Chains A and B, each alone.
Chain A
Amino acid sequence: MQRDFHPRGQATMERVVQDGVQRVCTESHDRPPPELAKALEADQMKTIVYPEGSLMGDWKRGETIAQSGRGLTWNDKPGEPAGGSCYNCHELSPQELSHGTIGPSLRRFGKTRGTSPEVQRYVYGKIYNAKAYNLCSQMPRLGASGTLTAAQIKDLVALLLDPASPLNQ
């Protein structure tokens, strides 16, 4: 891949070098040995940086972020806000019928879970680095990869948990 790829825009060559997670998941066809998975998930957990205070932002902004599939490609302008591409794979708000099915439906996600600090922390962490919870998850490490900012992830937490969010209606 070093030979056959060339950098373009913000997509630089270090991206074709696999990290440990990518290597283990490739070699095991996404079924890593449980012990190894546990150890690597613990490493990934350490990458998560939690902001101070409440982890719930604004669900309205969260909806916009969930809709947007921009960010990190070679034709995205560096510095412009990225999206989470959430609807590409997940069902979220009932108004949006054009949603993917690769990930589980998140309809009424907050209904049964509430908004406790523990739940907020789990959701924030999962969006920040999905590999800390399930090593070979197909979900990008949206915080750890530098795709989304802390404020954006907080807005997504609100989209999932806020009782006023359309997702929880």
Chain B
Amino acid sequence: MRALAFGAALALACAAYGQDVAKEIQRYRQMVAEGSPAELFELDGEALWKKPQGPKNISLERCDLGEGPGVLKGAYAHLPRYFKDADRVMDLETRLLYCMTTLQGRNREEAAGRVFGSADRPSEFELLSAYVAGQSRGVRIEPGMSHPKEKASYELGRALYFYRVGAWDFSCTSCHGEEGKRIRLQDLPVLYKPQYARPVIATWPAYRVSTSQFITLQWRMNDCYRQMRTPEPTFGSETTVALIHFLTATARGETYHGPGNKR
């Protein structure tokens, strides 16, 4: 039903297009923001979080997301961060995969076999991200920035943001480097600047209206690189985590209020 309402909103916005473009796009975004389907994903994510799985047949409820085993409040807002047990910096999705393989005893290939889902069937990471992120609403975004590996991860992410590569010579700045630019009708936030990173990072992960999918930051990195015409970045790799770390650190201080809605 909600999907229908959003479809109608989109059609309306399209029909009105040309009269006053900026105003109509703004109105459409407002309509979309009211009453988010993201809540439904949060509920399914909670059920999955509590569902016993894997060879050990236990749930993820004792997973340590950085605030201690089973502590969800504020955990997402403090990621990515360094984890001593894994001796590396992890974002939420990477940490979830870690808990699936250690806590639940699942094999990595199986657990990471389907990291991005579809409109009909979201992935485990999408549902769990929705639930865990929702537990950080109202918490200030403060990723780890003190451990040497956290500093190195941030610096790597920053370097990657400006790194031109791939068949079309793009870097992140090719699209997200200059203020006031668009691709087609999509506004492009300049994500290395705090004032643009803050509202964006404060609402990821998010429900994407145009594809009826719940999307995560690992998905966003993956799909940006796809469009940059590079090979595929590996889920949970240092590269993807470093970029997410850099973007999140750039947004630090903002109050998390997602999961949000995207076009």
Q: Is B15 located at the chain interface by the 8 A CB criterion?
A: no
A16–B166 CB distance below 8 A? yes
A97–B232 CB distance below 8 A? no
Beyond A29-B162, A97-B21, A100-B182, whether A138 also contacts B167 by CB under 8 A is no
- The interface residues of chain B lying within 8 Å CB-to-CB of A74 are 226, 231-232
A73–B181 CB distance below 8 A? no
Residues 219-250 of B, flagged 1 when their CB comes within 8 A of A and 0 if not, give 00000011101111110011110000000000
Question: Distance (Å) between the CB of A54 and the closest chain B CB?
Answer: 28
Question: Distance (Å) between the CB of A129 and the closest chain B CB?
Answer: 11
A82 to B155 Cα, complex, angstroms: 36
The answer, among A11, A99, A100, A141, for a CB contact under 8 Å with B230, is: A11
Q: Is B111 located at the chain interface by the 8 A CB criterion?
A: no
Beyond A5-B231, A8-B232, A102-B182, whether A25 also contacts B164 by CB under 8 A is yes
Interface hits, A2-47 → B, CB 8 Å: 3-8, 11-13, 15-16, 18, 21-22, 25-26, 29-30
Q: Is A154 located at the chain interface by the 8 A CB criterion?
A: no
Interface hits, A115-169 → B, CB 8 Å: 131, 138, 140-141, 145-147
Beyond A73-B227, A97-B17, whether A22 also contacts B237 by CB under 8 A is no
Question: Distance (Å) between the CB of A126 and the closest chain B CB?
Answer: 15
Beyond A4-B237, A73-B226, A87-B184, whether A26 also contacts B164 by CB under 8 A is yes
Closest 5 pairs (CB-CB, A-B):
A4-B237, A140-B168, A4-B239, A8-B232, A22-B164
